[in-house]
Structure 1
Amino acid sequence: MEKQFIKDLKVGDKVKDLFGVVKKSLANYSSSSSKAPGQFMKLVLGDCTGTIEARLWEGVEDVIDLFNEGDVVLVEGYITEYNGLQINITSIEKYEGAVDLTLFQQTTGKDRREMAKRLNAIVQSIGNSYLKKLLISIFSDRKIYSAFINCPAAQTIHHAYIGGLLEHSLEVVQICELIASNYKDTINRDLLITGALLHDIGKIKEYNFSSISFNMTDIGKLIGHLVIGKEMIDEKIREIPNFPPELQLALSHMIISHHGEREWGSPEVPKTIEAFALFYGDLVSAKLNQFYNLLNKGVDSESGWTPWDKFLERSAYLINYSENGD
Structure 2
Amino acid sequence: MAKQQWIGSLRRGDAILDFFAAQDKVLATTSDNQRRYLRLRLGDRTGWLPALAWDNAVQLYEAFDNGDIVKVMGTVEEFRGRLQIRVHKLRVATAQDRVDLHDFLPVSRFPVRELLERLDSVIDGVQNPYLQHLLRLALGPQGEAREAFTRASAAKEVHHAYLGGLLEHVLEMVDVARALCALHPEYTDPDLVTAAVLLHDIGKLQEFEQQGHGFAYTRPGELLGHVFLGARWVEERARQVPGFPEGLLEELLHCILSHHGLLEHGAPVLPRTMNAWIVYLADDASAKLNQVRRLYERAGSGGGDGDGWSEYDPRLGIRAYTGFAQAPQGETA
Report the TM range for the smaller structure's normalisation. Answer: 0.7 to 0.9
| SS of residue paired to 2:329 | helix
Q: Among the aligned pairs, what percent are the same residue?
A: 31
Q: Is 1:305 the counterpart of 2:301 in the alignment?
A: no
Quote the Cα distance in structure 1 between the aligned partners of 2:306 and 2:90: 34
Equivalent residue, structure 1, for 2:329 = 322
Q: Alpha carbons of 1:13 and 1:169: their partners in 2 closer, same or farther (altered >3 Å)?
A: same
Q: Is 1:49 the counterpart of 2:46 in the alignment?
A: yes
Letter in 1 for 2:136: I
Contact residue 38 and residue 61 of structure 2 kept, 8 A: no
Contact residue 80 and residue 88 of structure 1 kept, 8 A: no
Letter in 2 for 1:318: G
Q: Is 1:98 the counterpart of 2:88 in the alignment?
A: no
Range that drifts further, 196-205 or 139-148: 139-148
Equivalent residue, structure 2, for 1:124 = 124
Equivalent residue, structure 2, for 1:162 = 163
Quote the Cα distance in structure 2 between the aligned partners of 1:206 and 1:314: 30
RMSD value, Cα: 3.8
Uncovered stretches (5+) of structure 2, i.e. residues with no partner: none
Q: CA deviation at 1:180?
A: 0.7
TM-score (norm 2): 0.76
TM-score (norm 1): 0.78
Quote the Cα distance in structure 2 between the aligned partners of 1:283 and 1:58: 41
Q: Alpha carbons of 1:261 and 1:22: their partners in 2 closer, same or farther (altered >3 Å)?
A: farther
Contact residue 258 and residue 270 of structure 1 kept, 8 A: yes
| SS of residue paired to 2:217 | coil
Equivalent residue, structure 1, for 2:7 = 5
Higher fraction of strand = 2
After superposition, residues 108-257 of structure 1 pair within 5 angstroms as 108-140=108-140, 141-209=142-210, 211-257=212-258
Q: Alpha carbons of 1:281 and 1:303: their partners in 2 closer, same or farther (altered >3 Å)?
A: same
Contact residue 105 and residue 162 of structure 1 kept, 8 A: yes
- CA deviation map 1:255-275 (0-9, x unaligned): 122122222222222222111
Quote the Cα distance in structure 1 between the aligned partners of 2:84 and 2:217: 25
Q: CA deviation at 1:212?
A: 1.2
| SS of residue paired to 1:285 | helix
Q: CA deviation at 1:233?
A: 0.4
Q: CA deviation at 1:145?
A: 0.6
Quote the Cα distance in structure 2 between the aligned partners of 1:42 and 1:233: 45
Quote the Cα distance in structure 1 between the aligned partners of 2:130 and 2:168: 25
Contact residue 21 and residue 213 of structure 1 kept, 8 A: no
- CA deviation map 1:93-132 (0-9, x unaligned): 2432212233201222213222212211211222222212
Q: CA deviation at 1:307?
A: 2.6
Letter in 1 for 2:92: E
Q: Alpha carbons of 1:68 and 1:235: their partners in 2 closer, same or farther (altered >3 Å)?
A: farther
Quote the Cα distance in structure 2 between the aligned partners of 1:324 and 1:21: 37
Uncovered stretches (5+) of structure 1, i.e. residues with no partner: none
Letter in 2 for 1:275: A
Range that drifts further, 201-210 or 41-50: 41-50
Q: Is 1:72 the counterpart of 2:69 in the alignment?
A: yes
Q: Alpha carbons of 1:6 and 1:253: their partners in 2 closer, same or farther (altered >3 Å)?
A: same
Q: CA deviation at 1:168?
A: 0.9
Quote the Cα distance in structure 1 between the aligned partners of 2:312 and 2:278: 27
Contact residue 202 and residue 226 of structure 1 kept, 8 A: yes
Contact residue 19 and residue 93 of structure 2 kept, 8 A: no
Q: CA deviation at 1:13?
A: 9.2
Q: CA deviation at 1:61?
A: 9.8
Q: CA deviation at 1:192?
A: 0.8
